[in-house]
A and B are shown apart, each in its own frame.
Chain A
């Protein structure tokens, strides 16, 4: 009966995984890098707390959408790098299709008078 980590506010459950997978498509990254990148790309809108980020990463590992291995950073420090798997890419494509459909649908509703 472990408590489920709360999703970050205003993020539909599962969306965070989609975003992480998307950032991983450009290459392997460590947790801090992922958080930074999400922050940059969303221009500060998506501030992902560590309390959500690491559980999400564990979920990706559990589902085999991502793999992790320890490597050395450019500053010569040990960090755990995550990279996306083939299953992860398939998952991302699915999520993306669903997301596109949903956003189009939402836009239509919002634009209807």
Chain B
């Protein structure tokens, strides 16, 4: 270490050191000269002899300097300077190569920026390394591991007994609540959190204050809240005087205590608009049993480790407490698992996004590979053009390794420039993609941090080596004799190396293009999927009566009056209610028992999905009954059910299920069988499903069918519930919109893969163009002679086209095979389209081939317009 320091010190003062050394040697020489003079030589003789006796003075100096090893540093610097000068001289080449690398590295860095923000970045809290997410580990009967929060009573036991955690806090996601100030109406998302949430995390209010544990007493809930910076800006116009004022949530007055700093976006993937103490659940959702029942799952739990306690110790202690508490609450004894304080905090969510991330990383790696192949090709072409220069340097005695090192330094400068530009791209791209594609704004911090910079540096170096190494070796393997004669490196055909690089580019870009093609076909197919009911003219109205403290009787009464009024609107043909809206991405699951089918339970095959509806529901959606009958008004209050064909098939295969019973919480009699319909999510496998009658307590979805010629007065519809009860604010959605939002994931996938595919195609075409142009240049003479001997323009064109076409077709064949393999990973978004789908593959291959032909044709046309006379004159 000390020696390194001395070396650096010496490097900094290298001028002084050099001067010292030179003076020292000159002194030595003078003494030697004097010695010889004293022995009787004349002055010029002695000077010459002394010089001779000293030997190679320059070498001695270099050797003495070499002891300090900064010889290497210096040559490295020289190489860089030389490389940069060369790059500056060939601006066209440099610009193309840097841009290509910048695109390749930029998409990689952009993806990593998003990944980093989700997985590695910590919340913006004090000392995030000491903060942990606390989960209970569940094992399903099939052996899968699930990570869950815990019930509030379990949490409070942990909090009261733990010694290894300096603080333990809980969070419950409240869903959107209504802001009901006079003149203002909007939905605000709430996190209910423990009173000391902000103290434990170490987050202070930007204005005003946060709440405390005293304000979070279950027996005495306080209506106080803290605003997020974003909500303060969007909802309250950045008005500082909001602190201390009262706003109305679900018609309950809440005092605004403070506004949080801009960089704290909460401890969930989606930042909430406001935080209230957990106890305030009792004010906003009086029927919630969340804070009292040990069966209610779950609150999310975080904590801060006590000083000098590591995660393993805390985990062991919490597990021990949890096991005791579980006995008391009659709950399964689970292990506790601690996670880092990252944005995508739950291991569950991490598991969910990892496969998608892996696919994306593969896709952007392909783009980078294509970019590298491109630059490698450019470097090869440039190397071929530099054969003469390199030949001369080799002939003058430069070592091959030395020249390779110099060429690599040059590609490293390219890579680093590309990386720098790539970081620039990653400053805008991730934000742009997320803003345009995400359902809701994610609380992600996309500023580059040291991880992003390191990753980019690593990629840049990797890319430089990947695109520079082979050309460097290739270029220096030169025939000195031929080079000096002036004809070296003029082989007419592109080398096998350039050919295979080109083929690989074509193959890689076809993989991305074909995936896009398949995804787009999947989307087309999805848009035509028959959900099993008639979606045209359906409007969904969501009411959230539970939030407004409606009990079953009031809710039923309200819904009956509302249904009457809606039915009276012109154009409405039928109205019904349901707990779950069709294709709403939500579902209720239960396990059922059927006599004689106990075996199904062992494999978990007795789980079914269900919905509670009003009697006219199936008629409103036009889901046909295939056996038995539909609900009738007099069935209200009876335990009867209609099952779908899939459920009939599972529990009563080959039998008529009508009149039979199954038991969920109570026994239901099957009165009819309905045709299979996709109730939850479009394009999913049909699940066993049953409909039972709702008592109205929690039904808050109105399903309204208008005449097919749909031209509904939606404003009138919106006003109706509010006329019945001031507090109710409905949300309207057209069924068609629901379907569109169902396709969101697929659309996002095809958008991203389409973008990357286009980029890949562009890069591949630049590569094909560049190589062809180079070949044309190299074969100028040959082509001229051919034409002088009578070849026609089209012969020349054909010659060049066919040569490239062979490469492109070979690459395309490999690409098709690879994309079929890749497509199986996209199955979720293909909606039944086969990975072999001919339309997608043929269309995309055709696009690729025509683009490749065009990229060949442009330079080839130039070759065909050569005037043979010009060439012959040159010879």
Q: Are B72 and A50 in contact (CB under 8 A)?
A: no
Chain A, residues 34-48, CB within 8 Å of chain B (1/0): the string is 010000000000000
Q: Are B55 and A49 in contact (CB under 8 A)?
A: yes
Q: Are B20 and A80 in contact (CB under 8 A)?
A: yes
Q: Are A62 and B3 in contact (CB under 8 A)?
A: yes
Report which of B6, B27, B57, B64 forms a contact with A79, defined as CB distance below 8 A.
B27
Q: Are A5 and B24 in contact (CB under 8 A)?
A: no
User: In the assembly, what is the distance between CA of A51 and CA of B52, in Å?
Assistant: 12
Smallest Cβ-Cβ distance to A5: which chain B residue: B63
Report which of B21, B25, B30, B67 forms a contact with A59, defined as CB distance below 8 A.
B67
Instruction: Kindly list chain A residues whose C-beta atoms are within 8 Å of the C-beta of B25.
Output: 50, 54
User: In the assembly, what is the distance between CA of A105 and CA of B30, in Å?
Assistant: 43
B32 CB-CB contact with A under 8 Å:
yes
A55 CB-CB contact with B under 8 Å:
yes
CB distance from B688 to the nearest CB of A (A): 73
Report which of B31, B59, B68 forms a contact with A51, defined as CB distance below 8 A.
B59
- Interface residue ranges of A57-112 to B (CB < 8 Å): 57-59, 62-64, 70, 77-80
CB distance from B330 to the nearest CB of A (A): 74
Q: Are B64 and A54 in contact (CB under 8 A)?
A: yes
Chain B, residues 19-36, CB within 8 Å of chain A (1/0): the string is 011011101101110000
Instruction: Kindly list chain A residues whose C-beta atoms are within 8 Å of the C-beta of B65.
Output: 58
Say whether, besides A2-B69, A2-B71, A59-B67, A50 and B28 are in contact (CB < 8 Å).
yes
User: In the assembly, what is the distance between CA of A49 and CA of B68, in Å?
Assistant: 20
Say whether, besides A32-B32, A55-B67, A78 and B23 are in contact (CB < 8 Å).
yes
User: In the assembly, what is the distance between CA of A77 and CA of B3, in Å?
Assistant: 32
B56 CB-CB contact with A under 8 Å:
yes
Instruction: Kindly list chain B residues whose C-beta atoms are within 8 Å of the C-beta of A55.
Output: 60, 63-64, 66-67
CB distance from A66 to the nearest CB of B (A): 13
- Interface residue ranges of A7-62 to B (CB < 8 Å): 30-32, 35, 49-51, 54-55, 57-59, 62
CB distance from B8 to the nearest CB of A (A): 12
Q: Are B27 and A32 in contact (CB under 8 A)?
A: yes
Say whether, besides A32-B32, A78-B27, A3 and B63 are in contact (CB < 8 Å).
yes
B482 CB-CB contact with A under 8 Å:
no
User: In the assembly, what is the distance between CA of A78 and CA of B32, in Å?
Assistant: 15
Instruction: Kindly list chain B residues whose C-beta atoms are within 8 Å of the C-beta of A4.
Output: 66
Q: Are A1 and B72 in contact (CB under 8 A)?
A: yes
* Contact residues of B: prevailing secondary structure: helix
Report which of A1, A35, A58, A64 forms a contact with B64, defined as CB distance below 8 A.
A58
CB distance from B3 to the nearest CB of A (A): 6
- Interface residue ranges of B41-94 to A (CB < 8 Å): 54-57, 59-69, 71-72
CB distance from A47 to the nearest CB of B (A): 10
Q: Which of B7, B24, B59 has the most CB of A within 10 A?
A: B24
Say whether, besides A32-B32, A59-B67, A63-B3, A51 and B56 are in contact (CB < 8 Å).
yes
CB distance from B770 to the nearest CB of A (A): 34
User: In the assembly, what is the distance between CA of A9 and CA of B54, in Å?
Assistant: 16
Instruction: Kindly list chain B residues whose C-beta atoms are within 8 Å of the C-beta of A51.
Output: 55-56, 59-60, 63
Q: Are A54 and B27 in contact (CB under 8 A)?
A: no
Q: Are B27 and A30 in contact (CB under 8 A)?
A: yes
User: In the assembly, what is the distance between CA of A77 and CA of B57, in Å?
Assistant: 21
CB distance from B867 to the nearest CB of A (A): 51
CB distance from B75 to the nearest CB of A (A): 8
Instruction: Kindly list chain B residues whose C-beta atoms are within 8 Å of the C-beta of A35.
Output: 28
Q: Which of A1, A2, A77, A78 has the most CB of B within 10 A?
A: A2
User: In the assembly, what is the distance between CA of A63 and CA of B7, in Å?
Assistant: 11
User: In the assembly, what is the distance between CA of A7 and CA of B395, in Å?
Assistant: 30
CB distance from A86 to the nearest CB of B (A): 15
User: In the assembly, what is the distance between CA of A79 and CA of B27, in Å?
Assistant: 7
Q: Which of B21, B62, B64 has the most CB of A within 10 A?
A: B64
- Which of under 10, 10 to 19, 20 to 34, or 35 or more describes the interface residues of A? 20 to 34
Instruction: Kindly list chain A residues whose C-beta atoms are within 8 Å of the C-beta of B31.
Output: 32
Q: Are B3 and A2 in contact (CB under 8 A)?
A: no
Q: Are B64 and A57 in contact (CB under 8 A)?
A: yes
User: In the assembly, what is the distance between CA of A70 and CA of B23, in Å?
Assistant: 11
User: In the assembly, what is the distance between CA of A57 and CA of B68, in Å?
Assistant: 11
Q: Are B6 and A50 in contact (CB under 8 A)?
A: no
Instruction: Kindly list chain A residues whose C-beta atoms are within 8 Å of the C-beta of B72.
Output: 1-2
Q: Are A54 and B63 in contact (CB under 8 A)?
A: yes
User: In the assembly, what is the distance between CA of A32 and CA of B53, in Å?
Assistant: 13
User: In the assembly, what is the distance between CA of A62 and CA of B11, in Å?
Assistant: 12
CB distance from B802 to the nearest CB of A (A): 47
Instruction: Kindly list chain B residues whose C-beta atoms are within 8 Å of the C-beta of A49.
Output: 55
Smallest Cβ-Cβ distance to B57: which chain A residue: A50
Instruction: Kindly list chain B residues whose C-beta atoms are within 8 Å of the C-beta of A2.
Output: 62, 66, 69, 71-72
Instruction: Kindly list chain B residues whose C-beta atoms are within 8 Å of the C-beta of A31.
Output: 24, 27-28
Q: Are A50 and B55 in contact (CB under 8 A)?
A: yes
Smallest Cβ-Cβ distance to A51: which chain B residue: B60
Instruction: Kindly list chain B residues whose C-beta atoms are within 8 Å of the C-beta of A1.
Output: 72
Instruction: Kindly list chain A residues whose C-beta atoms are within 8 Å of the C-beta of B21.
Output: 54
CB distance from A24 to the nearest CB of B (A): 16
Smallest Cβ-Cβ distance to A79: which chain B residue: B27
Smallest Cβ-Cβ distance to B56: which chain A residue: A51
Q: Are B20 and A5 in contact (CB under 8 A)?
A: no
User: In the assembly, what is the distance between CA of A54 and CA of B59, in Å?
Assistant: 11
Q: Are B28 and A32 in contact (CB under 8 A)?
A: yes
Smallest Cβ-Cβ distance to B24: which chain A residue: A80
Q: Are B68 and A58 in contact (CB under 8 A)?
A: yes
CB distance from B360 to the nearest CB of A (A): 42
CB distance from B77 to the nearest CB of A (A): 14
Smallest Cβ-Cβ distance to A49: which chain B residue: B55
User: In the assembly, what is the distance between CA of A32 and CA of B60, in Å?
Assistant: 14
User: In the assembly, what is the distance between CA of A15 and CA of B76, in Å?
Assistant: 32
Q: Are A77 and B55 in contact (CB under 8 A)?
A: no
User: In the assembly, what is the distance between CA of A72 and CA of B3, in Å?
Assistant: 29
Q: Are A3 and B60 in contact (CB under 8 A)?
A: no
Q: Are B56 and A3 in contact (CB under 8 A)?
A: no
Instruction: Kindly list chain A residues whose C-beta atoms are within 8 Å of the C-beta of B57.
Output: 50
Instruction: Kindly list chain B residues whose C-beta atoms are within 8 Å of the C-beta of A77.
Output: 27, 30
Smallest Cβ-Cβ distance to B399: which chain A residue: A1
Q: Are A50 and B27 in contact (CB under 8 A)?
A: no
- Interface residue ranges of B422-454 to A (CB < 8 Å): none
Q: Are B66 and A5 in contact (CB under 8 A)?
A: yes
Instruction: Kindly list chain B residues whose C-beta atoms are within 8 Å of the C-beta of A79.
Output: 24, 27
User: In the assembly, what is the distance between CA of A2 and CA of B70, in Å?
Assistant: 9
CB distance from B260 to the nearest CB of A (A): 57
Q: Are B24 and A54 in contact (CB under 8 A)?
A: yes
Q: Which of B6, B31, B66, B69 has the most CB of A within 10 A?
A: B31
A-B contact pairs, 14 of them (CB 8 A): A2-B66, A31-B24, A32-B27, A32-B31, A51-B63, A54-B21, A54-B24, A54-B64, A55-B66, A58-B65, A64-B6, A80-B20, A80-B23, A80-B24
Q: A49-B55, A54-B60 are in contact. List 17 more A-B contacts (CB 8 A).
A: A2-B66, A2-B72, A31-B24, A31-B27, A31-B28, A32-B28, A32-B31, A32-B32, A35-B28, A54-B21, A54-B25, A55-B60, A62-B68, A64-B6, A77-B30, A78-B27, A80-B27
Could you list which residues of chain B lie within 8 angstroms of chain A, going by C-beta atoms? 2-3, 6-7, 20-21, 23-25, 27-28, 30-32, 54-57, 59-69, 71-72
The 8 closest A-B pairs by CB, nearest first: A2-B66, A58-B67, A2-B71, A5-B63, A54-B64, A51-B60, A32-B31, A55-B63
Could you list which residues of chain A lie within 8 angstroms of chain B, going by C-beta atoms? 1-5, 30-32, 35, 49-51, 54-55, 57-59, 62-64, 70, 77-80
